[in-house]
Amino acid sequence: MTTYDYGYARVSTTAQDLKRQLDWLASQGVPTGRTYADKKTGTDFERQGLGAVLAQLRSGDVLYVASLDRLGRTMHKVLALVAELREKGVHLVIGGAMTIDTRVGGPATDMALLMLGTFAEMELIFQRERRASARASREASGKAWGRPREIDRAAVLADLEEMSAMKVAAKHGIGRATVFRIKAEAKEG
């Protein structure tokens, strides 16, 4: 029976870069034609790339992932996925500071997977706590959270006639770069 190596990479946003993970997969000998990727949060397990690679995997195949948290950020779901793959006879090679290869197997491998899953979920919890703290701090100081829904461009341009870009930005609750972008767009239009 022929077995294949597959790779999976994921970043959370479209602004992030997959290059480091793709380079690692290539260094492990995973062909680009069998490498799947997503730019979507790890808490969502309905990802196109993940679904596609899972549909390809057969007993004896090996799935390479640069780190366990690339599979997902929710420990019980990641561990359930790992268990499902192992029951199917699919091996996992997980890179990082401590490479895990389930072809080796044994209690040490099981413990390492459990620990990495726990750390991935802990980091997700810490990120949420940091965001909540930053939001509470901004709201306590009277500043709006998130980006403004609508900017009155005419008012920004009118204020620029009388004040500095820094003062206009502060008055409208926007960044200086946004003020300059509105000014440039007005000149172009």
Residue 34 DSSP label: G
How many other β-carbons are positioned within 10 Å of the β-carbon of residue 41?
Answer: 15
Residue the block writes with tokens 């239009």: 189
Q: Pull the structure tokens for residue 132.
A: 């909540």
**Residue 137 bears catalytic tag:** no
Alpha carbons within 13 angstroms on the beta-carbon side of residue 133 total 6
Return phi, psi of residue 37, to 5°: -145, 155
Report how far residue 60's alpha carbon sits from residue 58's, in angstroms, rounded to the nearest whole number: 6
Q: Pull the structure tokens for residue 40.
A: 């979507």
Catalytic residue from among 12, 27, 67, 141: 12
Selection from 30, 19, 136, 119 nearest residue 74 by Cα: 119
Active-site annotation, residues: 12
